[in-house]
Chains A and B, each alone.
Chain A
Amino acid sequence: MKIKVELKKRYYEAESSELKGKRNVFSLDVNFEMKNELVVLFGPSGSGKTTLLKCISGITHPDNGIISVDSRIYFDSDRKINLPIQKRNMGFVFQTYTLFPHMNVRKNIECGLKGWEKGEKETRVREMLDLLHIEELEIRYPSQLSGGQKQRVALARALAPKPELLLLDEPFSALDRVIRTELAEKIKKLQKKIGIPLLFITHSLDEAFLLADRILILYRGEVQQFGTPEEIFYHPRNLHVAELVGLSNIFDDALVEGQVEGHNAGPKRTVLRSGGMRIAVKPLNLKEGDKVSWGIHPENITLLPLDSGSEDHDENIYSAYVHSITSKGPKKRIILKLSRHEKSLTAELSAQFADALNLNTGDLCLVKMDMSKVVAF
């Protein structure tokens, strides 16, 4: 199965506005292909995630482009094809569940089985109730269900007509953490079991990394990066992606100083100059003097006591003062003032490790940023 999406959609200010002219306020310009996999659409509010799903489902239409699932064309502006929603064979789970309040669970699931023979219908509803472990809810009404139960019913209803593609628009945003994780794992298993492509919108980074085969990062209507969680996390293509995946230590002032060929002086690497520091990163395909940004995830920073050594430009070891320490349950967040850069650095350590270091505010210590963990873009 191959899904191809290539579309443009623009939103204009209301024509009655004083400007009269059509001022472009937002445009969605997306181009990607996916297979039988679980793709997470990730991006800040207003980046066009929901609009994209609505275009694919047919609730709204792109201005131009192509949307196809295998050889079936959902939308093609050049050939003037626009398949009605009812003919697009897909499932959609909305953020607000959208269960029909006047129908019980069974009727809700049956709603998508129009034209099925009575016996087949019965079997299919059973299968769905069974698949999502909601057998006991069969004759309840949506108002009698909890949030997690509603979401399961919504999933059962969407899957019942055997869709060729499943779209989920932040399905877990109203649920508590425990149920979220449980349902996310359930969905991942389900996707493997039924083997259909699944497009999933989320705001939660944890959810994205837990679920995704690949993550599509959307920012202001444009695809910033499309890759595996690993790629996105360690090789963000630009500042937007880096910020979105929680890279809080970002230094955008670096210049490429040179390339170091491996051998005795350690592995092959690119050296950047950032403030008074020289930072070694994995080899970059850039020339000397090129501008570059670098950063490191707070949990990838290692702290060393001062007596364990000294600053080492080749190993990315620099001295820093402890500015503040805050406790985050099992973790401690330590803000460090670098001696060789005016920006501060945030590190996150396990409480156990932090306690062993016995650091206090104002102490001087050494910060090690492992070359393989430093992200440059």
Chain B
Amino acid sequence: MLDKIWFPIFITFWIATISSLLVLCSGVVLAYVFARYDFRGKGLAELFVTLPLVLPPTVIGYLLVVLVGKNGFLGQMIFKVLGTGIMFTWQAAVIAAYTVSLPLMVRTAKAAIEAVDRELEHAAYILGRSELETALIITLPLAKKGILAGLVLSFARAVGEFGATLMLAGNIPGKTNTMSISIYSAFQAGNNELAQVLVLILVILSLLSISLTGKFIDREKFEV
């Protein structure tokens, strides 16, 4: 019984953490590029990143299976490098979580970066700072609140991910049975007790993470 509770908690947070780290790194870069550059095809690129926000999870799951499955373009590359496929592993669950939570980060961080006064960046350039330095010491620190908000949203979305994960990583006990999936299967099997415990833990952890983030943000002493 304990394994049935602890493993889903562990694997859910493991997947959500790895996915959120990836989302943080790539999402901020994408958000900066979308906020500060104009280039041909920018609209299309933004649409592509945002699409998972509006597509049904099953559709995302299906498309991901096509992409990273045994015959998929990415799937074949992964097979060549690793010598094994990644379908029905926790890594596949990370890919699913990453895909659905990336747009939340990109949209929130982009808005925050756009809100940073460009003149502050110009001032830093004039003081001899390169664009990368300026982004790291001026723009991103000033957009921190937005980026943190994006991170919280992305993490929460990853924790709650169900549809695409089920299609890509399946429901393998001790391997890919995340909390959401465990709740569903416990409910299906009539194991209400387990479902209730998992639901309660999920609610408590979600509340905790949101209030912690709130506290962290409030500690900022400067006004932007």
Point out residues on A near B: beta carbons under 8 Å: 57-59, 85-86, 88, 90-92, 94, 96, 98, 100-102, 111-112, 114, 141-143, 157-158, 161
The residue in A112, A142, A161 that gathers the most chain B C-beta atoms within 10 A of its C-beta is A112
B123 interface residue, CB < 8 Å from A?
Answer: yes
Q: Is the CB of A102 within 8 A of B222?
A: yes
Q: List 12 A-B contacts (CB under 8 A).
A: A57-B122, A58-B125, A59-B125, A59-B126, A88-B126, A92-B122, A92-B126, A100-B138, A102-B141, A114-B128, A143-B223, A161-B127
The 4 closest A-B pairs by CB, nearest first: A112-B127, A98-B123, A85-B125, A92-B126
CA distance A102 to B129 in the complex (A): 17
From known contacts A59-B122, A143-B222, A143-B223, infer whether A98 and B127 are also in contact, taking CB-CB under 8 Å: no
Q: Is the CB of B222 within 8 A of A101?
A: yes
Q: Give chain B residues whose Cβ lies under 8 Å from the Cβ of A90.
A: 126
Point out residues on B near A: beta carbons under 8 Å: 117, 119-120, 122-130, 133, 137-138, 141-142, 221-224
Say whether chain B's binding surface is mostly helix, strand, loop, or mixed: helix
Q: Give chain A residues whose Cβ lies under 8 Å from the Cβ of B130.
A: 86
Shortest Cβ distance from residue A22 to the other chain B in the assembled complex, whole angstroms: 18
Shortest Cβ distance from residue B91 to the other chain A in the assembled complex, whole angstroms: 37
Shortest Cβ distance from residue A213 to the other chain B in the assembled complex, whole angstroms: 24
From known contacts A98-B120, A100-B138, A101-B142, infer whether A86 and B221 are also in contact, taking CB-CB under 8 Å: no
CA distance A158 to B122 in the complex (A): 12
Q: Give chain A residues whose Cβ lies under 8 Å from the Cβ of B142.
A: 100-102
Q: Is the CB of A111 within 8 A of B127?
A: yes
The residue in B120, B122, B126, B222 that gathers the most chain A C-beta atoms within 10 A of its C-beta is B126
Q: Give chain A residues whose Cβ lies under 8 Å from the Cβ of B127.
A: 111-112, 114, 157, 161
The residue in B122, B133, B223 that gathers the most chain A C-beta atoms within 10 A of its C-beta is B122
Q: Give chain A residues whose Cβ lies under 8 Å from the Cβ of B129.
A: 86, 111, 114
CA distance A290 to B191 in the complex (A): 105
The answer, among A57, A96, A100, A143, for a CB contact under 8 Å with B126, is A57
Shortest Cβ distance from residue A162 to the other chain B in the assembled complex, whole angstroms: 11
Q: Is the CB of A98 within 8 A of B222?
A: no
Closest to A96 in B: B119
Q: Give chain B residues whose Cβ lies under 8 Å from the Cβ of A58.
A: 125-126
CA distance A101 to B120 in the complex (A): 9
Q: Give chain B residues whose Cβ lies under 8 Å from the Cβ of A94.
A: 119, 122-123
Q: Is the CB of B128 within 8 A of A161?
A: yes
CA distance A142 to B142 in the complex (A): 14
CA distance A101 to B123 in the complex (A): 13
Shortest Cβ distance from residue A336 to the other chain B in the assembled complex, whole angstroms: 48
Closest to A93 in B: B123
CA distance A102 to B133 in the complex (A): 15
From known contacts A94-B119, A96-B119, A98-B117, infer whether A111 and B124 are also in contact, taking CB-CB under 8 Å: yes
CA distance A266 to B105 in the complex (A): 83
8 further interface pairs, Cβ-Cβ under 8 Å (given A86-B129, A114-B128): A57-B126, A85-B125, A88-B126, A94-B122, A94-B123, A96-B119, A98-B123, A112-B128
Closest to B125 in A: A85
Closest to A91 in B: B126
CA distance A98 to B124 in the complex (A): 9
CA distance A142 to B224 in the complex (A): 10
Closest to A163 in B: B126
The answer, among B120, B128, B223, for a CB contact under 8 Å with A100, is B120
Q: Is the CB of B119 within 8 A of A98?
A: yes
Q: Is the CB of B222 within 8 A of A85?
A: no
Closest to A86 in B: B128
Shortest Cβ distance from residue B135 to the other chain A in the assembled complex, whole angstroms: 13
CA distance A143 to B221 in the complex (A): 10
CA distance A48 to B30 in the complex (A): 35
CA distance A57 to B127 in the complex (A): 11
The residue in A96, A102, A142, A143 that gathers the most chain B C-beta atoms within 10 A of its C-beta is A102
The residue in A57, A59, A143 that gathers the most chain B C-beta atoms within 10 A of its C-beta is A59
Closest to B141 in A: A102
Q: Give chain A residues whose Cβ lies under 8 Å from the Cβ of B141.
A: 102
Q: Give chain A residues whose Cβ lies under 8 Å from the Cβ of B133.
A: 114
Q: Is the CB of B222 within 8 A of A86?
A: no
CA distance A114 to B117 in the complex (A): 22
Closest to B124 in A: A111
Shortest Cβ distance from residue A98 to the other chain B in the assembled complex, whole angstroms: 4
Shortest Cβ distance from residue A84 to the other chain B in the assembled complex, whole angstroms: 8
The residue in A88, A98, A157 that gathers the most chain B C-beta atoms within 10 A of its C-beta is A98
Q: Give chain A residues whose Cβ lies under 8 Å from the Cβ of B126.
A: 57-59, 85-86, 88, 90-92, 158
The residue in A58, A100, A157 that gathers the most chain B C-beta atoms within 10 A of its C-beta is A100
Q: Give chain B residues whose Cβ lies under 8 Å from the Cβ of A142.
A: 222
Q: Give chain B residues whose Cβ lies under 8 Å from the Cβ of A141.
A: 221-222
Shortest Cβ distance from residue A88 to the other chain B in the assembled complex, whole angstroms: 8
Q: Give chain A residues whose Cβ lies under 8 Å from the Cβ of B124.
A: 100, 111
Q: Give chain A residues whose Cβ lies under 8 Å from the Cβ of B128.
A: 86, 112, 114, 161
